Structure 1
Amino acid sequence: MRFVADLHIHSKYSRACSRDCDLEHLTWWARRKGITLVGTGDFTHPAWHDHLRDALVPAEPGLFRLRDDLDREIDRTLPPSLRARTVRFMLSVEISTIYKRDGRTRKVHHLVYLPDLESAAEFNRRLARIGNIASDGRPILGLDSRDLLEITLECGGYLVPAHVWTPWFAVLGSKSGFDAVADCYADLADHVFAVETGLSSDPEMNWRVSSLDRYRLVSNSDAHSPPALGREATVFDTDLDYHSVRRALETGVGHAGSIEFFPEEGKYHVDGHRKCGVRLEPAETAALGGICPVCGKPVTVGVSSRVEELADRAAGFRPDGAAGFVNLVPLPEIVSEVVGTGPKSKRVLAEVDRLVAAFGPELVVLRDVPVDELAALSPLVGEAVERLRRGRVVRDAGYDGEYGVIRLFEPGELERRGSALSLFEFAPPARAEAPAPVVAPAPAPAPRAVAAPAPADHAHGTGLLDGLDPDQRAAAGSGGGPLLIIAGPGTGKTRTLTHRIAHLVTERAVPAEECLAITFTRRAAEEMAERLEALGVRVAVATFHSLGVRILREHHARLGLSASFGIADPERQVEVARSVCGDDGEARRLVAEGAEIYKKALRAQDLVDFDDLVALPLALLEDDPALVDAYRDRYRWISVDEYQDVDERQYRLLGLLAPPDGNLTAIGDPDQAIYRFRGADVGFFLRFREDFPGARVVHLTRNYRSSAAVVRGALEVISPSTLVPGRELHPFGDHGDALIAVHHAASEQAEAAFVVRTIEQVLGGASFHAFDSGRVTSDGTQGLGFSDFAVLYRTDRRSRALVDALTQSGLPFQKRSHDRLADRPGVARIVRELPFTAGESVVDRVRAAAGEDHVAHELLKPLAVECGTDFERFHTTLALGVEVDAWDPRADRISLLTLHASKGLEFPVVFIVGCEDGLLPLRWPGQDDDTDEERRLLFVGMTRARRHLFLSHTAARPRSPFLADLGEFRRIGDAQPKRRRGGTQASLF
């Protein structure tokens, strides 16, 4: 039996993947594409593993099919040409391993295949002891590749190195790989018999490396959304079952070749720097010594250069018996080129629907349908497919994470021939439009923090706005002009903004290059870029400071800077200032004040500091109206996240970039304005409609994050000073037995003990001792782990008692601050680079590595101070049982952090300690109090909670006046003497 297999895909539980990556949509698209065998992807993820058990039934040996009821529903949504086609699933997962070997950090991705769910369950059990497999469908493990292969073999599966040439994460990658596949897997290398070539290479490139002759070359899509299925695939001519597929890869018999991208379309085909706009062929890279001509840093070496580096054969060589391949361009991309709209546009999808209804699956159209038959329906598509089959394509190679572009027509050719409007001259026979797939819902996962109902970003036949709620849709679907979106906590702010941008680009024909999205942190910018990419859109996403860098790089000469000017970190700033004043104290004053003498010294060293990244671009634009016009022409559509946090310079910069009648979208919540100490001014948010007359205003009021109790309490607290007249916030979703409680403790130590005790109760016990002592008498609230808990406080000092109590209890925690263990080079090197023996504590390892006790003392003393204890006590506490796992950044741990640091985060269970007058609101002697902002700070902290919220105060001070505004809540406490033990804590739930 000859069939097409795509055995590297991802589920909706992987980062940056479509929420439509479920079995039902994957089956629908596999039939549409003409794919018989599909990997399940992500079987290590617990929720996805449960979905596989529920929705799949055994088929041929080692394979599965969709349940009959689900399968019938899918068939009803397909045209007759696509119905009842065989689709089978094989258990697959991609694993990322990051580890040290031979003095280098290795980052290698692997595909693991197993024959049954029992084997998968055992595999998952083993991996769960190594790392967190529940946070992402593609788990990241601190595990050697050789050891992962060993676990795979012991569970009865096989392993294929994934996208072997990718620079960053691959066995042969230029950044972190090996020079031979066998080197990676050491003594178990003979058990690897196939490798995945990846999107940026094809078999012809791999044939140049003789060490790869022993492996079957396979290709897969690595699909992050169902429509991407089959963009690359492997062809088999064998029985349809797991064992036959494995045997074909082991022996080559039955391995019939592959379907490939043109490798130039891959994201890492050639070398370059995406940020600098530099793309280089291997010879150009060699001539430049591997250095980017714009920024002076090493370029990302792509697949072509890496193949050239390892090749021991001339181009064009083909090993005896090597399976063949064919290069294809996905059908929607072909239609997109000739129509002139995006491949996900409604017009393109409709025309592809016509083609597959008439001729069958997309791969059949691309490979098998006679060209004259295609031309009879669509002349230009027929010509494009003919060129494709002959390999007559125009190639613009991808580089440094930027996809390449493959075209079937020369630039301007279609316009000269009459444009795409005459493309479909011959209408196909009339038929009913194929509806979108109607699929049974998968088992509901745990409540998501920001999740509008039934999202369906990539569903066939639906628009980008269809999965949004009415408020979100009103905001995201709004047209041009100024727009203010007031987004309450947990209302899907980022989702709304990214869908608006994607809607403008894909459905309103706004050029992507004219869009600019601005956030406040690099993390937020990365998240927004990932979400937009998952929606099929790439636009400029920047922080205010990275935007400033971009402007300065483009106009550096006007400031006397070179193109490769540096950005001074705080230590370098003081060093520069010291060079002109000679005194540390005076140097710090010069830096803090931004003194002219210090700034001149910076420029003399070709440096700017952090403040300059906004101040200098602002000065350039304010002095040059023509430059303002140029940037307004470049970025005609600007979106700003967290607008309530802008400061005066950022506000002025936006005013220059966006005219009063421009297309500026601002989103945020004035009741979450808490950064006045950083210079933020909520007044700029409140005057938006004055600055932009005629601006539309949309309110997002459906909270998908928090329980009804939490939402009600947060509204009661903010109501006396809300900056949103008529503030509304409506809870959506089932949060189970949620509660909000106020605890009165006798002391800070008693408060910390309450936190520890309650965490154990909510978890249902963290040790046998919790049951033996009677501290826990039930199984608690199900479905939570340590990382689901956060303890928040107004000032860092309040964390000391918490650290002591959590350390004594043995519960794992992390204190988020700017002075973490990971930031200490000496300790970080010891903890990260050297192997640990099971049960060995951090102190033991530091002492052994340092060689002398006094050296270990110096390394650990700052960490002891951070934890609020003396070194000897800290030393003893760690040595008695805190193993290295407690310090592993991949381990789940309770989070301790300030209220300010909690902004943007969320947790099922939140404690806010120190709710006392003088702490919350914080009162400084001799200074004016901003009680309203302090109230907003509590509002922010409360709305971090999804399910349970505990507010605590002690007898040391009067309780916070903000708590007086709370209505119904549960009172618990230990400040008063109890007549008898028990009862109070056990009744929490």
Structure 2
Amino acid sequence: LLTRFADRYPDATVLRLPRTYRCTPEIAGAANRVLAAAREGVALKSQRDPGPAVRVMAYDHEQAEADGVADRIAELIADGMPPSEIAVLVRMNAMTEPVEEALAERRIPYRVAGGGGFFNRPEVRRAISVIRGGAVSAGGDQAGSAEGGGAGQAGAVVADTVAAILSGLGWTPEPPVGAGAVRESWESLSALHTAAEAFASRHPAGSLREFAEELKQRAERQDVPESAGVTLSSLHSAKGMEWQAVFLVGLVEGVVPHSSAKTDEELAEERRLLYVGITRAKDHLQLSYARARSMGGRVRRPSRFLITLDAAGARTAASVASKPRSARRTAAHCRLCGKALTTGAERSLGRCRACPSDVDLELLEALRQWRTAVVEEQSADRDKKLPAYVIATDATLQALAEQRPSSADALAAIPGIGPRKLDDYGADLLAIIGGHTAGHSVAHSTSAADPAQD
């Protein structure tokens, strides 16, 4: 209707709005190239200063794509970008699962957009009921913690009180490993915790009763609070939204454009949908596809839109990085029994759950102490608390303490150790692991020699 509006109403005045204050010139240029191939749309003119290059990435299979995206997200967070300013956009909601798993392995918080019925979820209803009960028990105008707390401290007390309530219902500050019902419940409670902190920031003298009333009003208008995590969303649900960094994944033929798109108009609509996804990004944009669904699977073709974009970008300044990136995993089978590894946690450790752990507990503790020291140092430099998972997740540390890599190549094969972390921390990690391995070898040799001397 809108694309043919001027034809239908020839007397109408057409006002073109080509300026964009959201996207960098690089992102606006990528969006323009997508529509230019179909000779439609208005060419965007960015009013922003130049930004980072748009990245076009090819991966061997879908899990490698998810790992690559998660590693890049971890780098952005390490550089100070809030997780809530990052989004991963897909053509269909079912495509988020590998990315969810990869983010969960790295303990990066995330939320799946478009999930209906937030306020009807059992854990949310129970939490709100307990919050209301606490507000009634408090009985006053303030948050209910009168111990030395004046009106100016009430908002902070509200946030602390809600955190305590949610903790009693199973919520923890750090997200659980893995996806599924447990993760979804954590996301819901985390959203309520974020809402409480936002309320405390807006209303320093606010009370728990006022926060409970705000939740009631939000439920009536279905104003769902958002958790402070990476957003996973379909392209359709992302309309009208914006983030500092956007990752468009799964860009293969049959997905974008969808296999059901046959006519020129249907294909044009698919092209516009990709355009919408591209223009959700303000500063960073990465588009990617996996050559196969699984390792060794049937080869798939990249989206025709992506090929056009990549070819156009290759002729400009080096604004698109299109070099293939292979999976870092060296095997998809247990290193002890050879059984196929099916979950993210198993792949992180390189063994199935049935096989015993051969973790070096002393080495694991040394790695944790190293991570704590790095977090404290980088937090001081940024004047902001840095999450520990940004440096290395618990699963990555466990894998290091079990597999004890002795070279850069072996270290790079550990999930969670990307090229940047290898450059930044590789020497330190190898030194810590090598020191403990050498110490154990000396101790073992000495204990073995003692009986012979007797």
Q: TM-score, normalised by structure 1?
A: 0.24
Which structure has more helix as a fraction of its residues? 2
Which structure has more strand as a fraction of its residues? 1
Q: TM-score, normalised by structure 2?
A: 0.50
